[in-house]
C-alpha cells in the first residue's frame, strides 16, 4: 500500500507532520480529516520496488544506524511488555520517531502486518536492515509466544555491541589523530618549510652532509612531484581494494587481521565475542543449533571465521558435539571449548556462550587500555624521530659552516 508524508494543523492550530499509509491520496486525506488534522500538503513517498545495483553497490538502500535499530527494538519490547497489541505498539513507536528511513520502513512493516503477515515475515522483506539473526529470533519469539522477551534480548545484544564498538573507536581515536596530525606536519615541512631553508645551502655551493642531501631529495620530490605521490597512493589503495574483493584477497586480508601486531589479538577477541553472543542469544531463543550456526556464519564478516563455522556445521551434522567442533576449527582457544563442553553437559550451552561473550568483552576493554598505552608513545616516538631527522639535517650544514668561519 502507498505511504504518504503529510503536513498540516490539528484542532488547536498546532503544526503537525507525519506519515500515513492509505490506498490513495484521497483516502489518506479522508482518514486524516477524521483524525482532526487539516492538511496543508501531502505527497507520496516513492520507494523503489527493487534495489538497483551499479558495480555491486546498492544505491537505494536506506541508511539506518545501529543506534536507531537498537532504540526501536527497546521501545517495541517495552510497549509489548506493557500489554499493548503489536499494531498499537508499532503505531506508538512510529509516532515517537522523527522523519527517517526507519520510520518510513516501519510504516511499511505495519501495513504488511495489517494485511496478515507476521512481524518476522515483514522484517524479512526489509532484509537489508533486519538481518537473519533478527528475523530468526523474532520468528522464534512469535512461535513460542515470547516476542517481547526476544525483542528485549535483541535490544540488549545490539546495545552491548554498540557499546563495544564505541569503546574501540574512542580508544583508537587519539592515536589516529596523532598519526593524521603528524603526517600533515611532515607534508608541510617537506613541501614548504624545508625548501626555503635548504635554498641557502645551494647558494653556498658547499658539499652537504648525507642527512641533508637525503632531506633535500625528499623535499624536492614532495615539492615538484606531489601529484605523482598522490596518484601512487590512490592507485595503490584502489589496487588493494580491488584485490581484497576477490576470494583469494578476502582470505589473505582476513587472515592478516588476526596476525597484525597489537590489533590482531584485539580483532580475534572481538570476533569470538560477537560469535558467542549471537550464537548464545539464538540458542536461548530456541533456534536449532545448525540453523543458529548458519545465521552466525553470515553475521561474522570474516572468510577465515566463516570457513571455521562451516567446518563446525559439518562436524555437528556428522554427530560430533559442539565442544569437539570448536576445538577442531582451531580458531577458538581452550577456555571457550571448555565452557562450551560444560554448557552441553549441563544443557545450558546458550548461557555458557553468553558468559564467554561477556568475559571476552571485558578482556577487550582491558586490551584496549594496553594497546592505547602502547600506541601513543610509539606514535610520538615515530613522529619525533621524523621531525628530529629534519632538524638534524638542517642543523648539520649550519654547524659545518660555523667551523669554517672559525
Average pLDDT by stretches of 10, the chain with 406 residues: 73 75 77 80 61 40 75 88 86 77 83 85 86 82 81 84 81 81 80 76 72 82 82 91 86 85 83 87 84 79 84 86 85 88 89 90 83 81 84 80 59
**CA dist 250 → 13, 240, 242, 260, 300 (Å):** 59, 11, 10, 15, 13
Neighbouring residues of 369: CB distance < 8 A, sequence distance ≥ 6:
171
Task: State the pLDDT at residue 287.
Answer: 81
Place of cell 561474522: 300
Between CA 31 and CA 12 the distance in angstroms is 18
**Per the confidence metrics, is the pTM higher than 0.75?**
no
Between CA 149 and CA 390 the distance in angstroms is 62
Task: Give domain 66-158's CATH architecture.
Answer: Up-down Bundle (1.20)
What residue segments make up the domains of the chain, in order of their start? Answer: 3-46, 66-158, 167-406
Alpha-carbon dihedral 332, 337, 340, 345, rounded to 10 degrees: 160
Between CA 109 and CA 138 the distance in angstroms is 14
β pairing state of 53-54 and 38-44: unpaired
Q: Any idea what DSSP says for residue 64?
A: -
Residues 322, 288 contacting (CB under 8 angstroms): no
Nearest CA to 5 out of 97, 68, 72 is that of 97
DSSP collapsed to 3 states, 121-146: HHHHCCCCCCCHHHHHHHHHHHHHCC
Neighbouring residues of 286: CB distance < 8 A, sequence distance ≥ 6:
140, 143, 144
> Same fold for the domain at 66-158 and the one at 167-406?
yes
Between CA 326 and CA 66 the distance in angstroms is 29
Task: State the pLDDT at residue 57.
Answer: 40
Count the Cβ atoms, other than its own, within 10 Å of residue 33: 12
Q: Which CATH number applies to 3-46? A: 3.10.20
Task: State the pLDDT at residue 59.
Answer: 41
Superfamily of domain 167-406: Type II secretion system (T2SS), domain F (1.20.81.30)
Task: State the pLDDT at residue 60.
Answer: 46
Count the Cβ atoms, other than its own, within 10 Å of residue 43: 10
Residues 80, 151 contacting (CB under 8 angstroms): yes
β pairing state of 38-44 and 3-9: antiparallel
Amino acid at each position: 500500500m502507498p505511504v504518504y508524508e503529510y503536513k498540516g494543523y490539528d484542532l488547536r492550530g498546532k503544526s503537525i507532520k507525519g506519515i500515513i499509509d492509505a490506498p490513495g491520496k484521497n483516502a489518506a486525506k479522508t482518514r486524516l480529516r477524521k483524525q482532526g488534522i487539516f492538511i496543508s500538503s501531502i505527497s507520496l513517498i516513492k520507494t523503489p520496488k527493487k534495489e538497483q545495483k551499479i558495480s555491486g553497490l546498492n544505491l537505494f538502500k536506506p541508511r539506518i544506524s545501529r543506534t536507531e535499530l537498537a532504540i526501536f527494538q527497546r521501545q517495541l519490547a517495552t510497549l509489548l511488555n506493557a500489554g499493548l497489541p503489536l499494531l498499537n505498539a508499532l503505531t506508538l513507536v512510529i509516532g515517537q520517531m522523527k522523519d527517517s528511513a526507519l520510520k518510513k520502513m516501519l510504516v511499511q512493516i505495519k501495513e504488511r502486518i495489517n494485511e496478515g503477515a507476521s512481524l518476522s515475515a515483514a522484517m524479512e522483506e526489509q532484509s537489508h536492515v533486519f538481518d537473519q539473526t533478527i528475523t530468526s529470533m523474532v520468528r522464534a519469539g512469535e512461535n513460542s509466544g515470547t516476542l517481547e522477551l526476544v525483542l528485549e534480548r535483541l535490544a540488549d545484544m545490539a546495545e552491548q555491541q554498540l557499546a563495544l564498538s564505541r569503546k574501540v573507536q574512542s580508544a583508537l581515536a587519539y592515536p589516529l589523530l596523532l598519526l593524521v596530525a603528524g603526517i600533515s606536519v611532515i607534508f608541510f615541512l617537506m613541501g614548504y618549510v624545508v625548501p626555503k631553508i635548504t635554498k641557502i645551502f645551494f647558494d653556498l655551493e658547499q658539499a652537504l652532509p648525507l642527512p641533508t642531501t637525503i632531506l633535500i631529495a625528499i623535499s624536492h620530490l614532495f615539492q615538484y612531484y606531489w601529484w605523482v605521490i598522490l596518484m601512487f597512493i590512490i592507485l595503490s589503495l584502489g589496487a588493494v581494494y580491488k584485490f581484497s574483493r576477490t576470494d583469494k584477497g578476502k582470505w589473505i586480508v582476513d587472515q592478516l587481521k588476526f596476525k597484525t601486531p597489537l590489533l590482531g589479538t584485539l580483532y580475534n577477541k572481538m570476533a569470538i565475542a560477537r560469535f558467542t553472543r549471537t550464537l548464545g542469544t539464538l540458542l536461548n531463543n530456541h533456534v536449532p543449533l545448525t540453523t543458529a550456526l548458519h545465521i552466525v556464519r553470515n553475521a561474522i564478516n570474516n572468510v577465515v571465521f566463516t570457513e571455521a563455522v562451516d567446518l563446525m556445521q559439518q562436524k555437528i551434522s556428522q554427530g560430533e558435539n559442539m565442544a569437539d567442533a570448536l576445538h577442531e576449527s582451531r580458531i577458538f582457544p581452550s577456555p571457550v571449548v571448555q565452557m562450551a563442553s560444560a554448557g552441553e553437559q549441563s544443557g545450558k550451552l546458550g548461557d555458557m556462550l553468553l558468559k564467554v561473550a561477556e568475559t571476552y568483552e571485558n578482556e577487550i576493554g582491558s586490551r584496549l587500555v594496553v594497546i592505547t598505552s602502547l600506541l601513543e608513545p610509539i606514535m610520538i616516538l615515530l613522529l619525533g624521530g621524523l621531525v628530529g631527522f629534519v632538524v638534524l639535517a638542517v642543523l648539520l650544514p649550519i654547524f659545518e659552516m660555523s667551523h669554517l668561519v672559525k
